[in-house]
Amino acid sequence: MDDMRLTERTVDTNESKITARKVQVYYGDTHALRDVDVDILDKAVTAFIGPSGCGKSTFLRCINRMNDTISVARVEGEIKLDGEDIYDAKVDPVQLRAKVGMVFQKPNPFPKSIYDNVSYGPKIHGMTRSKAELDEIVEKSLRRAALWDEVKDRLNEPGTGLSGGQQQRLCIARAVATEPEVLLMDEPCSALDPIATAQVEELIDELRSNFSVVIVTHSMQQAARVSQRTAFFHLGYLVEYGETGQIFTNPKDPRTESYITGRIG
Ligand X SMILES: Nc1ncnc2c1ncn2[C@@H]1O[C@H](COP(=O)(O)OP(=O)(O)OP(=O)(O)O)[C@@H](O)[C@H]1O
Pairing outcome for strands 16-27 and 30-41: antiparallel
β-bridge pairing 84-85 and 30-41: unpaired
Among 50, 121, 165, 236, binds another protein (CB under 8 A): 121
Contact yes or no for 174/102 (Cβ under 8 A): no
Report, in Å, the least distance between residue 108 CB and another protein: 4
Chosen residue from 23, 41, 42, 57 binding Mg ion by CB under 5 A: 57
Q: How far apart, in Å, are the Cα atoms of 68 and each of 40, 95, 100, 175?
A: 21, 14, 15, 19
Q: How far is the CB of 195 from another protein (least distance, A)?
A: 26
* CA separation for the pair 3, 245 (Å, rounded): 9
Least distance CB 32 / Mg ion (angstroms):
11
- For the CB of residue 70, give the shortest distance to ligand X in the complex, in Å: 5
Longest dimension (CA), the chain: 56
* Residue 121 interface partner, choices Mg ion, another protein, ligand X, none, CB cut-off 5-8 Å depending on type: another protein
Site residues for another protein, window 76-105 (CB under 8 A)? Answer: 93-95, 97-98, 101-102, 104
Gyration radius (Cα) of the chain, Å: 18
Kind and range of the H or E run holding 221: helix 220-226
52 contact, one of Mg ion, ligand X, another protein, none, CB 5-8 Å limit per kind: ligand X
Q: What residue ranges bind ligand X (CB under 6 A)?
A: 27, 30, 32, 50, 52-58, 70, 72, 105
Q: What residue ranges bind Mg ion (CB under 5 A)?
A: 57, 105
